[in-house]
Amino acid sequence: MAVSKILITDDDVDTCEILSDIFRERGYGVVTAGTGSEAVDKAGQTTFDVALIDIRLPDMEGVELIAALKGMQPDMVVAMITGYASVETAVRALNEGASAYILKPLNMDEVLAAVKESLEKRRLVIENRRLYEEVQRELDERKRAEQSLNKERERFQVLIEEFPLGVSIIGEDGDYKYVNPRFVAMFGYTLDEIPTTGREWFRKAYPDKEYRNQAISAWITAIEETKVGQCRTLTYTAICKDGSKKMIQFLPVNMKAGDQFVIYEDITEQRMLEAQLIQSQKMEAVGRLAGGVAHDFNNLLTTIIGNVGLLLMRHREEDPQREELEEIRDAGDRAALLTRQLLAFSRKQPLRLVVLNLNEVITDMNKMLERLIGEDVKVGTVLESGLMPVKADPGQMEQVIMNLAVNAKDAMPRGGKLTIETANVYLDESYGRERGVEFKSGPYVMLAVSDTGFGMDEETKSHIFEPFFTTKDKGVGTGLGLSTVYGIVKQMEGYIWVYSESGQCTTFKIYLPGVETAVEQVKRDPTLLKGLEGSETVLLVEDDRSVLNLARKVLKQQGYSVLEAQNGEDALRVSKAHEGSIHLLITDVVMTGMNGRELAERIIPLYPEVKVLFMSGYTDNAISHHGVLESGVNFIEKPFTPEILMHQVRTVLDP
């Protein structure tokens, strides 16, 4: 077996060496380059199977190098490596021919998997080309060898009948002379059912006049400008006999006899997966941005919301300054909601999962939904009795229902009806295959939100779950509502689809895995500090000075003795110097040096009776490896109010 050759282009010498060692150990032939020009020179000397390219090179952009290498060696497959590229750059790289998009820091298993997958794609492309060339040679040989015409016709028939792609032969007059079984399976039409002429067939396959004219024009141009034996790829969405739409890639070939030999490939699922990949990359890119700012932003919001809460406690209802303070508090709450939305659609929002009944969540929200939607929209529910429980975050589920309800209201500016429905369903793998996703078979709970609004066209539907996409006027909404819903549902291992057509109603269907565990009681957040006083000693550890000051003020105001520290080492010194008991350790999770989990493990042997409460403003991924989100661990998410902090403190101290 021939050795696969890899061209690694990265101006980071260490990265090149690491990748070179990894691939050489696995039997690959490796050549490295530090610049784009050097890579081009080496590609001119050696044929490579795969190229790994950094997005930023000293003398050119990685996207430019992709175009140059693909121009020199079209069969070469290219994977882009980056740690900071934008979504637009990712899309450009894919459009220029990149087959994979690998993020730094590099995960070698992912790199090896991407290279293996790229090599398999290259093999399939070459194999398909070889197969096509073999078909063409067979056709030419059949025409040249008149003495074996019948035998060659039989061989050709067998080959085309078993060909994995659709095939048709069209005469010079436009009549269809032959279609193979795969063509029939693809479009649903047999040779007898295809119209007499090509134009009539186009009317059936492309009922939209403008779209049909574009397809006919492109087809004629391809035939006129292509030499005998050559082909040009065309891609159009055709309407099949059963009314379904399929994206078909056409390869028309001019034959010497004047006929056209056409190969058809159904790429509907492939394009769907490509679209999902791009969507995933967009969400990942924005998710990285959101996760990067969430910690600092949540610390700031904790300070703002907390101190405003303390000030509000000192002002009576009739105080004229109270209105301004409430405006600041509301603005802080909106900012916190925006951060949660950013983290939700990127699946980075920490979830507190409990077993709940969606019917109860919907029933509890009825009055709020009626106020939110307004009098011109009637809210109705169709809730299945005996609904299976699901494992979900109750607050996030309320956010999902509320966002879908607001979206439905906006689609009914003149009023209408909003219907919320639940049902027990069983979904199998075929349901997922129809939608181009991997689907786990089993029992699900369906949550459907339907409206009688103006609906959406296909173009709008293809973008509705993208972050910041909105059809509303500028300044109205953030474009995060539906992308937030998508992220929350995916994070809870569910699925969501939208059914809509322009001018007609819209239905969003959410499927969450059903569970057999008993429903848990969900505790509401507290609103008052009354009854949350205490006299215990608390060791407070927080590396953000503003958050530390706020938490200390709240604790002392409620009667607690507070020992404070800004990092783990400082906390150990303070605890060892303290002569009395320490009843509670409140610590940030992610700190420089010693993290909160490590600090707790070192404090507990000194004070065996101490309770621990973790807090963090980081994202799910950033804190999950610290073990904080495990069941039974006490955790408070930033930003928090004084009431929530003190309620959590008493909950930990008085379990």
Domain ranges of the chain: 5-126, 163-266, 351-522, 537-653
Long-range contacts of 226-232 (CB under 8 A, 24+ apart): 226/252, 226/253, 226/254, 227/254, 228/254, 228/255, 228/256, 229/136, 229/140, 229/253, 229/254, 229/256, 230/254, 231/263
Mean pLDDT, residues 529-537: 80
| Exposure on the CB side of residue 122, measured as CA atoms within 13 A | 25
d(CA 589, CA 294): 14
For 347-357, the pLDDT digits (tens) are 555 566 788 88
What is the percent of the chain with per-residue pLDDT over 70, rounded to a whole number? 79
Out of 398-402, 455-459, 651-655, least confident range: 455-459
30 or 243, which is more confident?
30
Domains 163-266 and 537-653 share a fold: no
595 or 297, which is more confident?
595
Give the best-scoring range by mean pLDDT among 62-66, 122-126, 254-258, 508-512: 508-512
d(CA 349, CA 283): 13
Number of continuous H segments (helices) and E segments (strands) in the chain: 21, 22
Mean pLDDT, residues 476-502: 75
For 198-221, the pLDDT digits (tens) are 677 788 888 888 888 888 788 778
Structure-token match 């569910």, residue found: 494
d(CA 429, CA 533): 55
The matching CATH number, chosen from 3.40.630.10, 3.40.50.720, 3.30.2130.10, 3.40.50.2300, for 5-126 is 3.40.50.2300
Per-residue model confidence (pLDDT) at position 476? 47
CATH code of domain 163-266: 3.30.450.20
Per-residue model confidence (pLDDT) at position 619? 47
Per-residue model confidence (pLDDT) at position 425? 87
Judged against a pLDDT cut of 70, whether residue 629 lies above it is answered with no
Mean pLDDT, residues 475-482: 57
Peptide bond into 207 cis (omega under 30): no
d(CA 184, CA 266): 12
Beta strands 5-9 and 50-54: pairing type? parallel
Do residues 513 and 388 make contact, with C-beta atoms less than 8 angstroms apart? no
Do residues 647 and 532 make contact, with C-beta atoms less than 8 angstroms apart? yes
Beta-carbon contacts of residue 177 (< 8 Å; ≥ 6 apart) = 169, 170, 171, 259
Beta-carbon contacts of residue 352 (< 8 Å; ≥ 6 apart) = 393, 395, 635
Judged against a pLDDT cut of 90, whether residue 586 lies above it is answered with yes
Mean pLDDT, residues 510-528: 68
Strand, coil or helix: 65: helix
Judged against a pLDDT cut of 70, whether residue 34 lies above it is answered with yes
Do residues 52 and 73 make contact, with C-beta atoms less than 8 angstroms apart? no
Mean pLDDT, residues 70-74: 87
Name which of 521, 565, 515, 522 is nearest 540 in CA terms. Answer: 565
Mean pLDDT, residues 617-629: 50
For 87-135, the pLDDT digits (tens) are 676 677 677 777 777 777 878 888 888 888 888 887 887 888 888 888 7
Give the E-state strand segments of 232-302 in sequence order: 234-239, 245-254, 260-266
**Structure confidence at residue 622 as a pLDDT band (50, 70, 90):** very low
Instruction: Give the single-character DSSP code of 635.
Output: E
Beta strands 635-637 and 584-588: pairing type? unpaired
Beta strands 611-616 and 584-588: pairing type? parallel
Give the E-state strand segments of 134-256 in sequence order: 166-170, 176-179, 234-239, 245-254
Give the ranges where 386-535 is alpha helix by DSSP (H).
Answer: 394-410, 429-434, 458-461, 481-491
Mean pLDDT, residues 571-598: 89
Out of 38-42, 182-186, 324-328, least confident range: 324-328
What is the percent of the chain with per-residue pLDDT over 90, rounded to a whole number? 11
Q: What is the pTM of this model?
A: 0.42
Per-residue model confidence (pLDDT) at position 195? 66
Mean pLDDT, residues 353-367: 85
What rounded mean pLDDT belongs to the chain?
A: 79
Judged against a pLDDT cut of 80, whether residue 415 lies above it is answered with yes
Per-residue model confidence (pLDDT) at position 434? 62
Judged against a pLDDT cut of 50, whether residue 621 lies above it is answered with no
Name which of 465, 451, 372, 472 is nearest 408 in CA terms. Answer: 451
**How far are the Cα atoms of 187, 252, 289, 404, 490 from residue 482, in angstroms, in the given order?**
35, 42, 19, 7, 12
User: What is the homologous superfamily of the domain 351-522 according to CATH?
Assistant: Histidine kinase-like ATPase, C-terminal domain (3.30.565.10)
Judged against a pLDDT cut of 70, whether residue 339 lies above it is answered with no
545-557 and 642-653 helices, crossing angle to 10°: 70
CATH code of domain 537-653: 3.40.50.2300
d(CA 355, CA 125): 48
**Structure confidence at residue 12 as a pLDDT band (50, 70, 90):** confident
Q: For residue 500, give the H/E element and its range.
A: strand 495-500
Mean pLDDT, residues 499-523: 77
Copy the structure tokens of residue 349: 């929002």
198-205 and 209-225 helices, crossing angle to 10°: 140
Cα 280 to the center of its chain, rounded Å: 3
Using alpha carbons only, what angle is made at residue 66 by residues 65 and 69, rounded to the nearest 5 degrees?
80
